[in-house]
Structure 1
Amino acid sequence: MGSRPALALLDILRDEGVDRVFGNPGTTELPFLAALSQTDDAPEYVLGVHEGAVVSMADGYARGTGRPAFVSLHIAAGLANGLIGLLNARRSRTPLVVTAGQQDRRHLQQDPMLSGDLTGLAAPAVKAVYDIQHARDLPLALRRAFALAVRPPAGPVFLSVPMDLLGEDTEIEVPARTPTPAPGPAPGLERAALLLGDATRPAIVAGDGVGREDALGALIRTAEACGATVHHQPMADCLNFPTTHPLHAGMLPPRHDAVRAALAAYDTVLIVGAHAFTPHHYTPGPALPPGLTVVQLDSDPDEIGRNFPADTGLVGALAPSLHRLAELLRDRVPDHTAKSRILRAGERHAAERDRAESAARAAYSRAPLAPWAAAHAVARGLPPDAVVVEEAITVGLLLRRIVRLDRPGSYTHTVGGGLGWGIGAAVGRALAEPGRPVVAVLGDGCTLFGLQGLWSAARQTAPVLFVVMNNGAYRTLQDTYESMGGQGVCPGTDLGRLDFTQAAGFFGVDAVRAQSATHLRELVAGAGKLTRPLLVDVPLRP
Structure 2
Amino acid sequence: MGPRPAPALLDILRGEGVDRVFGNPGTTELPFLAALADTDQAPEYILGVHEGAVVSMADGYARATGRTAFVSLHIAAGLANGLVGLLNARRSRTPLVVMAGQQDRRHLQQDPMLSGDLVALAAPAVKATYDVQHARDLPLALRRAFALAARPPAGPVFLSVPMDLLTEDTEVEIPARTPPPGPAPAGGLDRAAALLGGGARPVIVAGDGVGREDAVAALVRTAEACGAPVHHQPMADCLNFPTTHRLYAGMLPPRHDAIRAALAPYDTVLIAGAHAFTPHHYSPGPALPPGLTVIQLDSDPDEIGRNFPADHGLVGALGPSLDRLAELLPERVPAHTAKTRALRAGDRHTAERSRTEAAARATYSSAPLAPWAAAHAVARGLPPGTAVVEEAITVGLLLRELVRLDRPGSYTHTVGGGLGWGIGAAVGRAMAEPGRPVVAVLGDGCALFGLQGLWSAARYAAPVLFVVMSNGAYRTLQDTYEARGGTGLCPGTELGRLDFTRAAGFFGIDAVRAGSAEKLRELVAGAGELTRPMLVDVPLR
Deviation by residue 1:371-407 (Cα, 9 ceiling, x = unmatched)? 0000000000000000000000000000000100000
Opposite residue 356 of structure 2, the aligned amino acid is A
The one-letter code of the counterpart of 1:342 is A
Q: Deviations over 1:449-508 (max 9, x none)?
A: 000000000001000000000000000000000000012210000000000000000011
Partner of 1:245: 245
Cross-structure match for 2:525: 525
Deviation at 1:181, TM superposition (A): 2.0
Greater mean alpha carbon deviation, residues 35-44 or residues 442-451: 35-44
Give the aligned partner of residue 150 of structure 2. 150
Letter of the structure 1 residue corresponding to residue 392 of structure 2? A
1:71-110 to 2 correspondences below 5 Å = 71-110=71-110
1:14 equivalent in structure 2: 14
SS of residue in 2 equivalent to 1:258: helix
1:486 aligns with 2:486: yes
The 5 A counterparts of 1:19-418 are 19-365=19-365, 367-418=367-418
User: How far does residue 515 in structure 1 lie from its aligned partner after superposition?
Assistant: 2.0
- Aligned counterparts of 1:83 and 1:28: Cα–Cα separation in 2: 18
In structure 2, how many angstroms separate the alpha carbons of the residues matched to 1:42 and 1:399? 38
Cα offset for 1:365?
A: 2.6
Deviations 1:310-334 (A, max 9, x none): 0000000000000000010011100
Gaps of 5+ in 2: none
Which residue identity lines up with residue 177 of structure 2 in the other structure?
R
Q: Give a deviation string over 1:111-165, Cα, whole Å, max 9, x none.
A: 0000000000000000000000000000000000000001000000000000000
What secondary structure does 1:288 align onto?
coil
The aligned counterpart of 1:454 is: 454
The aligned residue for residue 3 of structure 2 is: 3
Q: Distance in 1 between matches of 2:20 and 2:214?
A: 23
Bigger Cα displacement from structure 2, 39-48 vs 530-539: 39-48
2:435 and 2:181 map into 1 onto residues whose CA distance is: 30
Output the amino acid matched with 1:190.
D
Distance, in Å, in 1 between the alignment partners of 2:394 and 2:27 is: 41
Query: 1:299 touches 1:317 (CA, 8 Å); kept in 2?
Result: yes
Letter paired with 1:174: I
Secondary structure of 1:501 counterpart: helix
Asked whether the 8 Å contact 1:366–1:517 carries over to 2, the reply is: no
The answer on whether the counterparts of 1:235 and 1:254 sit within 8 Å (CA) in structure 2 is yes
Query: In the alignment, residue 59 of structure 1 is paired with which amino acid?
Result: D
Q: Note the alpha carbon deviations across 1:392-445, whole angstroms, 9 max, x for none.
A: 000000000010000000000000000000000000000000121000000000
Deviation of the 1:237 alpha carbon: 0.1
Aligned 8 A contact 1:366 1:515 in 2? no
Structure 1: tracts of 5 or more residues without a match: none
- Kindly provide the amino acid, as one letter, of the partner of residue 488 in structure 2: G
The answer as to 2:448 corresponding to 1:441 is no
Letter in 2 for 1:446: C
SS at match of 1:2: coil
In 2, the alpha carbon distance for the partners of 1:5 and 1:367 equals 61
Aligned residue in 2 for 1:540: 540
8 A Cα contact 1:88 1:414, kept in partner: yes
1:99 partner SS: strand
Q: Give, in whole Å, the separation in 2 of the partners of 1:294 and 1:515.
A: 48
Residue 367 of structure 1 and its aligned partner are, at CA, apart by: 4.2
Equivalent AA in structure 2 for residue 372 of structure 1: W
Counterpart secondary structure, 2:329 = helix
SS of the equivalent of 2:297 reads strand
Q: Deviations over 1:58-101 (max 9, x none)?
A: 00000010000000000000000000000000000000000000
Q: Report the Cα offset of residue 180 of structure 1.
A: 1.4
Please tell me the root mean square deviation across aligned C-alpha atoms, in Å: 0.6
SS at match of 2:526: helix
Amino acid at match of 1:316: G
SS of the residue corresponding to residue 22 of structure 1 reads strand
Shift of 1:174: 0.8
The amino acid across from 2:207 in the alignment is G
Taking structure 2 as the reference length, the TM-score comes to 1.00
- SS of 1:160 mapped into structure 2: strand
- Check 1:68–1:504 CA distance in 2 against 1; reply closer, same or farther (3 A cut): same
Q: Distance in 2 between matches of 1:117 and 1:350?
A: 56
Aligned residue identity for 2:377 = A
Letter in 1 for 2:416: G
Quote the Cα distance in structure 1 between the aligned partners of 2:5 and 2:470.
48
| SS at 1:218 equivalent | helix
Shift of 1:42: 2.9
Are the aligned partners of 1:367 and 1:514 in contact in 2 as well (CA < 8 Å)? no
Q: Residue type of the partner of 2:37? A: S
Q: Which 4+ residue blocks in structure 1 deviate beyond 6 angstroms?
A: none
CA distance 1:142–1:178, shift in 2 (3 Å)? same
1:190 and 1:202 map into 2 onto residues whose CA distance is 16
| 1:505-542 Cα distance to aligned partner (Å, 9 max, x none) | 0011110000210000000000000000000000000x
Identify the residue that residue 423 of structure 1 maps to in structure 2: 423
SS of aligned partner of 2:221: helix
Amino acid at match of 2:279: P
**CA distances 1:346-385 after superposition (whole Å, capped 9, x unpaired):** 0000000000000111111364100000000000000000
Question: What is the one-letter code of the residue matched to 1:161?
Answer: V
